[in-house]
Structure 1
Amino acid sequence: MKILKFGGKSLAYNGGFDKVLRIIQDKVENQEKIAVVVSAIGNATNELEQILEAASKNKSYIKQLETFKKEQQGNSTADLSSEFSLLDKLFEGVALLGDYSPKIKDNVLAQGEVIAAKVVTEALQQKGLNANFSDTRLLIKTDTKFGNAQPLEQTSRKNILNHFKQHNGTTINVITGFIGSNVNNETTTLGRNGSNYTASLIANYLEAEELQNYTHVDGIYTANPDLVKDAKKIERLSFNEANELANFGATILHAKTIVPLIEKNIPLRVLNTFNHNNKGTLITAMSDNEGIKTLSVLDNVALINLEGRGLLGKTGIDARIFRVMADNEISVSIISQGSSERGIGIIVAADKVTKAIVGLEREFENDFYNKDVSKITANDDVAVISIIGQDLSTFHKPYTALIRNKIVPVLFNNTVTGKNVSLVVRKAQTHKALNVIHGEIFGVAKKINIAVFGHGLVGGTLIDQVLASAANIEKIKGIKLNIFAIGNSKKALFNKDGITADWRQEIQQNGKVYSVDDVIDYAEEHHLENLIAIDNTASADFIENYIPLAEKSFDLISSNKIANTVGYAFYQKLRKTLADNQKNYLYETNVGAGLPLIDTIKLLHLSGENITKIKGVFSGTLSYLFNHFSVENRPFSQVLKEAVDKGFTEPDPREDLSGNDVARKLLILARELDLQNEFEEIKIQNLIPEQLQQGSASEFLNRISELDPLYQSVKEKQQPGYVLRYIGELSGDLQQDKGNLDVKLVSVPGNSALGQLKGSDSIFEIYTDSYGDQPIIIQGAGAGASVTARGVFGDILRLSEKK
């Protein structure tokens, strides 16, 4: 025989109920011998509890009760008059007394299961099936602990066996879950999710072939799929793993369900009523493999802390705490304490916390008076996340991932075997914490959530590059890049599941006026983990957002040079904020576009290598300009106009010719060597004569021929075989606080490294003590939206690997 158990969501009239009937009918047609255990229909138990509370507080409940009756009856022809009449009398009595006992509550809640069993029985009979209503109040006998009664095994077993002898063959026994009765025939309930327990007991008593638990999901997942989108179904679990999962909050199981099945080695299969062709999750004595199986959550809990310096060195404190818990019938799921016992934390059910505090204050009254105990506090703003199958030897991985995402556990503990670890976190961080842990420990892609600010040439190219490469990166690297926000100076586009290829049109049509705080709030609201903010603007104002972004768990990437070249005080403050919050800031494209320059200098400096000088052609624009002008018989203005027409310069080419961009890049490298130079200290040769520095860009472009005599003269004064290059140079004693920074036009041999530069390439010479007169040379494309965007993309991947 197989025992089929159906939950409330499966039995709901809006689609599930007919599927339940179809499943049962299919089993009968396949000549399977079955019994059916049912929970209350839909949300009946909670609704009955709400009506009970309203009646006890003398609030109006009649309308709510009538709605309940109508919904439970539905289109069923089952006679529910006795159940409805009993509820009328019970609620009327509660309203008169203004209170109710646990016994009354059990009697009220039991009607949900009775109604469900009668309705299912009637529906099956109408389909011509031999269904029999089976009331477990006549079968399962319990103690008198209302609300969480314990079955009297011998009597219950005997009653069940006799009942099935009487109703056997083709009979389908439709059995009420959750309820029983004591020796005085008073209705009792078996506690939270007790219908699963009922089904498990009956399977044990009848030595069933299998217990099939039908729910609204395909089985047991690596995490709650409502909270973790990437959760995967588990094909198989062991009884021990399922028991741990049940004890640590899995609503699909009851903590007591597993034991009766273990006794008789009866498999439990968790199936989906709405997809019953799926094989679900099978729970047996053996698991498929070792390792972490799933994450579960207990969120209806509270943390009680007992603190006091006077407890230092005293023994027996924990024994007194547990005595209070035992006297008040309060279960402790987690305890954490130091060896000194000066601080002890315990996790209990949230609805028991008041009773626990009162009991502890009474127990430690003298300790308060003697000031040995300073305070006993409760915090219900917590949740417990349990990692089932976690070995402490690898626990550092999910723990480090949590810290990187600014989720600091309040406490954690592990079982003696070291195979399960529980973390207590702030309730508001539960959802995000689940996603962080799940992404770290299961073989699914690690999700990186990205906000891109600025979508001009570089930013727009980057977004397109990420979208084009995302699928391949996920396949090869196991990293899922998800751009959840794109912002320009006015509007932003949000999509927690990732923007699509038509983002340009969407931001025009659906973009919203925003601030950076809105992006931060959106990430928090949707529990997004592994956050990266990318600044592809050229805004001096936007860098003020770096610090709040880092404080809110964003790592930073920037092609904007300004944050690294403003005052040294801000530079230091940003670094301190990044360090305090354990965040990274990558800006490889600030100098040399996509060339690996900054990383190389960082590595050399960190390794203790003494860098003595850095010089090079920092600007791809000016590289193009002087590479061509030096060797071609053309006026300077003609080469400049060609560079403008090809889009190599800024709209106002004086921004390139002023040398400020090269100066900023040089300053960035100086600060990588811990030099404290300010921008104002850089000697910059402005390539624009004074008379052309004012006026509009168009006016300047109309007068660029005035530059020709100046630069033709400079070109002709060179030694034979020499060429012009506009360079940045860092020199001096670089072991001091400041170095010498020069940006200038120089003449160099045409056969030198600088002199042989072609096109718009950049080149950098790094001189060190170890390399002597032979510098490290880094050369390549130093400009262009595609190259810069690819460099930013590289920073994204570097950060993603660290997360």
Structure 2
Amino acid sequence: MKVLKFGGTSVGSVAAIKSVASIINSASTNNNIVVVVSAIGGVTNQLIQLSTRAQQGDTSYEALIDQLKLQHTTMYTELLGKEEEGFINELFSQLSEVCKGVFLLKELTSRTSDFIQSCGERLSSFIVFSYLKNEKVDITLYDSRKYLITDKQFGNANILIKETSELLLGLKSEMGSVSLFPGFIASTLENETTTLGRGGSDYTASLLANVFEAEALEIWTDVNGLMTADPRLVKQAHLLPHVSYEEALELSHFGAKVLYPPSIQPALDKGITIWVKNTFDAEGECTKITKEWDEKKNLVRGISSIKEIALLNLSGNSMVGIPSFSFRLFRALSEARVNVILITQASSEHSICVAISTVDVDKAKEAVSQEFKTELELRKLNAVSIDTDMSILALVGANMKNQVGICGKMFDTLGRNGISVTAIAQGSSERNISAVIHRSDMKKAINLLHESFFLSEIKKVHLFIVGVGNVGRAFLNQISEQQEYLLKEHHLNILVAGIANSKQSYFEEEGIDLKRWADLLNDGDAYHIDSFVSRIDELNLRNSVFVDITASEDIAQVYQAVLEKSISVVTPNKIAATRSMEQYRKLKQTARKYGAQFLFETNVAAGLPVISTLNDLIKSGDKILSIEAVLSGTLNYLFNEYNGQSTFKSIIESAKALGLTEPDPRLDLSGEDVIRKLLILMRESGLEVEMKDVDLVSFLPEGCLEAPSLDSFYQKVEDNEPYFKALYNEAEQAKTKLRVVASYKNGKATVGLQKIEEGHPFYFLEGKDNIVLFHTERYKAQPLVIKGAGAGAEVTASGIFADVLRLVNN
């Protein structure tokens, strides 16, 4: 024998009931089967609603009754091709009379409420029975109220096992091929209708399976089974083909709506296999629930969640001396009919915290306040505090206790993404590790954990990019070209979730189409850096990275706020790392404190690995003795290209056209850019230095940088052409090359134009190349040399990309 239970969606339409009929026909071919049905989806809620309206004296309850009657009679007619004039009409007549009494008395007792709610299952079972009978199925409809006996706990009645078992076993010999029972409903010994509470239809089916010693219990619903996580929150959630009873209990207790925890227990007692199947995909995959668990499967089987909970906290220095404190607390909550979902208590017994449903907050607070009224008045206890807008997420797995580090991995994953855990609970069996977090973090947290425990081979990263000039465009193109490769070969899914220029911004949580980003941005919203950062915070996406590809001081000012949200920062913008030493240090400390990273490799030499190499030297215990560097690809290009024949002005214009300079070339020619780069290298070496500590020897004639406009600057440069030609001729005559060199040695830092002799590593520097020489304790005789292209949109973009990948790998 098998027991098949069909939920509300499975009997929610004509097409659904026809699918149910097909399943029953197939299942009953070689077996006697018992079928349990729920009310049509949504009907129980409507019955509760109309009874409440009647109690409130609201005549609109009558219209709700009419709607329900029309819904059921229409379904009956469409299924059987004729009108039903008996049972349905009679039942709705009774329902109307009962509700009229509630309306007149403005009183709704729990007994009356149970009668009203029982109508849903009675109607659905009658319709299913009538259709199957009409289809020539050998089926008998039994009234569950005659065989399932309960106490008088109306609304959530308890089965009287002895009486119920005797009645059902007496019936067993009479049962034919298909026996149909309405779920959820039962009765007292005095024949008063009761209901079995939430999940009552599942419990009915499980109880019948237990008493009849069925070989299997099949739960038919609108999904294929238990999932690794809520698919509404996690798109990558997948089916669990097999779980143990304990795992199913934990998953269903913490939010998995497929099963209701008490419904599993009767089947568990007899070791009956439970199948969770999809009415609308009868041949598809499903979940099997047994006593055993899979030793070779993932230790974490699923991630469950409860979205809306509140934390009730009771604390006080004098709690230790209060007799039976915990007993009194839970007694008060029990008497107020408040379900406790999670419990934590400090070992000092100075505080105890319980998680409850948000709908129970007011009565819970009142009950606890009354129970400890004396202690509260004497200030032995602090006032009861309630934290709302909370959620619970839980890792579930029967065999987690055999693996070290599950708990650590869970909280490390959350912490690195800025998700604060308010309370923690873990049983000694380690089948469940639960954490209470803010509700706004739920989607982000459950996706993080799912990615970490089920899809660890694929990591999703969300980029938010400000600045789409030459470098920004190159960066976006590189991401677009590499997305498929990174996903396939490195299991890394990089998505651009937000972009902005100086005027507009555009966001797309699932990733912007990088083939159309320019058009999408043009149609985007007005941009302001504060609103851009706020939007990133609102989206609250896991593995978020803020990428600043500008030279803006305003944008550099928001790094602190971004890092405090545990969002990493990647940038070629040198301003943040070259402000005061105090601000520089604060950014580094903030990144460490909030589990984020502040990466600025491209601040110094575009795509060259200068800062990362320097960091490796310092971390490994080496000490920097001196630094010599040509750090401006732009200036190196200018002095390599200038030969005294073309004007220095034309060389500057050519460099700008090639994208080798800032939009305003004066920023490059002033030497300030090189000072900032040297300052960063010195700070990364461990030195406490400020901008004023670097001496600049300008190579430009006086007055050039004071020019009020770019055009007047070009004119000044053109007017001073003889000066530049003289510099060139002097270098040629001395058989040297002109290089703008940044150096640090013996505590002195300088930036200036130098004549480099043949044989020096700087002499043969070509085009826009940069070069850095580190003299260290380990590299005394020969310096460590890093050389390569140090300017240009493509190489700078590749350096930013490398920082993003470095961040992901860490």
Specify if TM > 0.5: yes
What's the RMSD between the two structures over aligned residues? 2.8
Cα-to-partner distance string for 1:40-84 (whole Å, 9 max, x where unaligned): 111111222222222222234222332233334333235411222
Q: Which amino acid aligns with 2:256?
A: A
CA distance in 1, matches of 2:629, 2:557: 30
Preserved CA contact (<8 Å) 1:662 1:743? yes
Partner residue in 1 for 2:410: 398
CA distance in 1, matches of 2:650, 2:440: 63
Which among 660, 668, 675 is matched to residue 672 of structure 2?
A: 660
Per the TM alignment, residue 341 of structure 1 is displaced from its structure 2 partner at its CA by 0.8
Give the direction of change, closer, same or farther, for the CA distance of 1:641–1:244 in structure 2 (3 Å limit): closer
The unaligned stretches of length 5 or more in structure 2 are 78-83
Q: Which amino acid aligns with 1:649?
A: T
Partner residue in 2 for 1:47: 46
SS at 1:76 equivalent: helix
SS at 1:800 equivalent: helix
SS at 2:487 equivalent: helix
Partner residue in 1 for 2:327: 319
Partner residue in 1 for 2:216: 210
Partner residue in 1 for 2:81: none
Tell whether 2:107 aligns with 1:94.
no
Per the TM alignment, residue 236 of structure 1 is displaced from its structure 2 partner at its CA by 0.6
SS at 1:614 equivalent: strand
The aligned runs of 1:463-612 (5 Å cut-off) are 463-508=476-521, 510-568=523-581, 570-612=583-625
Partner residue in 1 for 2:163: 155
CA distance in 1, matches of 2:462, 2:654: 41
Per the TM alignment, residue 762 of structure 1 is displaced from its structure 2 partner at its CA by 0.7
Per the TM alignment, residue 700 of structure 1 is displaced from its structure 2 partner at its CA by 5.4
Which among 75, 88, 91 is matched to residue 83 of structure 1?
A: 91
Tell whether 2:152 aligns with 1:144.
yes
Preserved CA contact (<8 Å) 1:520 1:552? no
Q: Identity percentage over the alignment?
A: 34
Per the TM alignment, residue 283 of structure 1 is displaced from its structure 2 partner at its CA by 0.8
Preserved CA contact (<8 Å) 2:529 2:555? no
299-308 vs 610-619, greater mean Cα deviation: 299-308
Per the TM alignment, residue 617 of structure 1 is displaced from its structure 2 partner at its CA by 0.8
Partner residue in 1 for 2:736: 722
Per the TM alignment, residue 514 of structure 1 is displaced from its structure 2 partner at its CA by 3.6
Give the direction of change, closer, same or farther, for the CA distance of 1:159–1:312 in structure 2 (3 Å limit): closer
Give the direction of change, closer, same or farther, for the CA distance of 1:504–1:337 in structure 2 (3 Å limit): closer
So what's the TM-score if we normalise by structure 2?
A: 0.91
The unaligned stretches of length 5 or more in structure 1 are 734-739
Partner residue in 2 for 1:127: 135
Per the TM alignment, residue 440 of structure 1 is displaced from its structure 2 partner at its CA by 1.9
The aligned runs of 1:156-305 (5 Å cut-off) are 156-169=164-177, 172-289=178-295, 291-305=299-313
Tell whether 2:69 aligns with 1:69.
yes
Tell whether 2:806 aligns with 1:798.
yes
324-333 vs 454-463, greater mean Cα deviation: 324-333
SS at 1:765 equivalent: strand
CA distance in 1, matches of 2:19, 2:534: 41
SS at 1:529 equivalent: coil
Per the TM alignment, residue 108 of structure 1 is displaced from its structure 2 partner at its CA by 1.4
Q: Which amino acid aligns with 1:186?
A: E
Preserved CA contact (<8 Å) 1:296 1:385? yes
Which among 119, 125, 131 is matched to residue 117 of structure 1?
A: 125
Q: Which amino acid aligns with 1:74?
A: T
CA distance in 1, matches of 2:134, 2:583: 78
Per the TM alignment, residue 269 of structure 1 is displaced from its structure 2 partner at its CA by 1.2
SS at 1:256 equivalent: helix
Preserved CA contact (<8 Å) 1:398 1:436? no
14-23 vs 772-781, greater mean Cα deviation: 14-23
The aligned runs of 1:608-647 (5 Å cut-off) are 608-629=621-642, 636=648, 639-640=651-652, 642-647=654-659
Partner residue in 2 for 1:737: none
Q: Which amino acid aligns with 1:424?
A: V
SS at 1:100 equivalent: coil
CA distance in 2, matches of 1:288, 1:375: 47
Preserved CA contact (<8 Å) 1:658 1:685? no
Preserved CA contact (<8 Å) 2:417 2:595? no
Tell whether 2:350 aligns with 1:342.
yes
Q: Which amino acid aligns with 2:311?
A: L
Preserved CA contact (<8 Å) 2:501 2:527? no
Per the TM alignment, residue 467 of structure 1 is displaced from its structure 2 partner at its CA by 2.8
Per the TM alignment, residue 257 of structure 1 is displaced from its structure 2 partner at its CA by 1.9
CA distance in 1, matches of 2:211, 2:587: 67
CA distance in 1, matches of 2:232, 2:436: 20
Give the direction of change, closer, same or farther, for the CA distance of 1:751–1:452 in structure 2 (3 Å limit): same
CA distance in 1, matches of 2:667, 2:358: 64
CA distance in 2, matches of 1:768, 1:399: 40
Per the TM alignment, residue 744 of structure 1 is displaced from its structure 2 partner at its CA by 1.1
Per the TM alignment, residue 616 of structure 1 is displaced from its structure 2 partner at its CA by 0.7
Per the TM alignment, residue 655 of structure 1 is displaced from its structure 2 partner at its CA by 3.4
Preserved CA contact (<8 Å) 2:6 2:219? yes
Aligned length: 792
So what's the TM-score if we normalise by structure 1?
A: 0.92
Per the TM alignment, residue 407 of structure 1 is displaced from its structure 2 partner at its CA by 1.7
Cα-to-partner distance string for 1:655-687 (whole Å, 9 max, x where unaligned): 322222222222222332454544355433444
CA distance in 2, matches of 1:508, 1:298: 37
Partner residue in 2 for 1:736: none
CA distance in 1, matches of 2:246, 2:315: 35
CA distance in 1, matches of 2:135, 2:370: 61
Preserved CA contact (<8 Å) 1:317 1:341? no
Preserved CA contact (<8 Å) 1:313 1:340? no
Give the direction of change, closer, same or farther, for the CA distance of 1:625–1:447 in structure 2 (3 Å limit): same
CA distance in 1, matches of 2:662, 2:443: 46
Preserved CA contact (<8 Å) 1:485 1:493? yes
Tell whether 2:440 aligns with 1:441.
no
Q: Which amino acid aligns with 2:300?
A: I
CA distance in 1, matches of 2:657, 2:524: 32
Q: Which amino acid aligns with 1:729?
A: S
